[in-house]
A = this chain, B = another copy of it.
Amino acid sequence: MTRSADAPGRRATILDVAAAAGVSRQTVTRAMNDMPGISAATRERVQKCAVELGYSPSRFAKGLVQGARTSVGLAIPDLTNPYFPAFASSVVEAATQRGWNVVVDDYGHGTGSGLDAVSRLAPQVDALIGYLGEHAAEAQSLMGSRPVVGLDCPGGSSAGSIGFDYPYAAGLALDHLASTGRHKVAFLDSDQGGPAGSRGAAVAAAAAAAGIPLARIHASPSATAARDAIGGLLEKEPGLDALLAFNDVMAAGVLKALHSAGRSVPGDCAVIGMDGIPLGELLTPELTTLALDLRAVGRAAVDLVEALLSGAVEPGSPAASLTLRHELIVRQSA
Cβ contact within 8 Å between A101 and B85: no
Measured CB to CB, the closest approach of chain B to A99, in angstroms, equals: 8
Of the stretches A61-69, A148-156, A179-187, A238-246, the one at the interface is A61-69
Which of A142-183 touch B at CB < 8 Å? 143-146
Option from B88, B110, B283, B284 in Cβ contact (under 8 Å) with A79 = B88
Encode A191-221 as 1/0 by CB contact (under 8 A) with B: 0000000000000000000000000000000
Encode A129-145 as 1/0 by CB contact (under 8 A) with B: 00000000000000111
Give chain B residues whose Cβ lies under 8 Å from the Cβ of A101.
Answer: 103, 105, 120-121, 124
Cβ contact within 8 Å between B145 and A51: yes
Cβ contact within 8 Å between B79 and A82: no
A123 at the binding interface (Cβ < 8 Å): yes
Cβ contact within 8 Å between B79 and A89: yes
Encode A263-283 as 1/0 by CB contact (under 8 A) with B: 000000000000000110111
Cβ contact within 8 Å between B62 and A123: yes
Using CB atoms, name the residue of chain B closest to A1: B314
In whole angstroms, what is the CA distance A104 to B90 when docked?
Answer: 12
A43 at the binding interface (Cβ < 8 Å): no
Give chain B residues whose Cβ lies under 8 Å from the Cβ of A144.
Answer: 50-51, 55-56
A292 at the binding interface (Cβ < 8 Å): no
Cβ contact within 8 Å between B106 and A93: yes
Cβ contact within 8 Å between A59 and B282: no
Using CB atoms, name the residue of chain B closest to A117: B96
Give chain B residues whose Cβ lies under 8 Å from the Cβ of A85.
Answer: 79-80, 82, 84-85, 88
Give chain B residues whose Cβ lies under 8 Å from the Cβ of A252.
Answer: 282
Give chain B residues whose Cβ lies under 8 Å from the Cβ of A51.
Answer: 144-145
Give chain B residues whose Cβ lies under 8 Å from the Cβ of A236.
Answer: none
Cβ contact within 8 Å between A71 and B282: no
Measured CB to CB, the closest approach of chain B to A38, in angstroms, equals: 18
Using CB atoms, name the residue of chain B closest to A141: B51
In whole angstroms, what is the CA distance A124 to B63 when docked?
Answer: 9
Option from B124, B143, B278 in Cβ contact (under 8 Å) with A71 = B124
A86 at the binding interface (Cβ < 8 Å): yes
Cβ contact within 8 Å between B82 and A3: no
Q: Given the interface contacts A56-B146, A64-B64, does A96 sit within 8 Å of B109 by beta carbon?
A: yes
Q: Which 3 A-B pairs have the closest CB atoms?
A: A85-B85, A79-B89, A60-B63
Given contacts A71-B124, A85-B85, A102-B104, 16 further A-B contacts (CB under 8 A): A50-B145, A51-B144, A56-B144, A59-B124, A61-B64, A62-B123, A64-B64, A80-B86, A80-B278, A96-B120, A101-B103, A103-B103, A223-B281, A279-B279, A283-B284, A284-B284
23 A-B residue pairs with Cβ-Cβ distance under 8 Å, sorted by A, are A54-B145, A56-B143, A60-B61, A63-B63, A68-B123, A71-B124, A79-B92, A85-B88, A88-B104, A89-B106, A89-B109, A92-B105, A92-B106, A96-B109, A101-B105, A101-B120, A101-B124, A102-B105, A104-B104, A223-B281, A255-B282, A282-B282, A283-B283
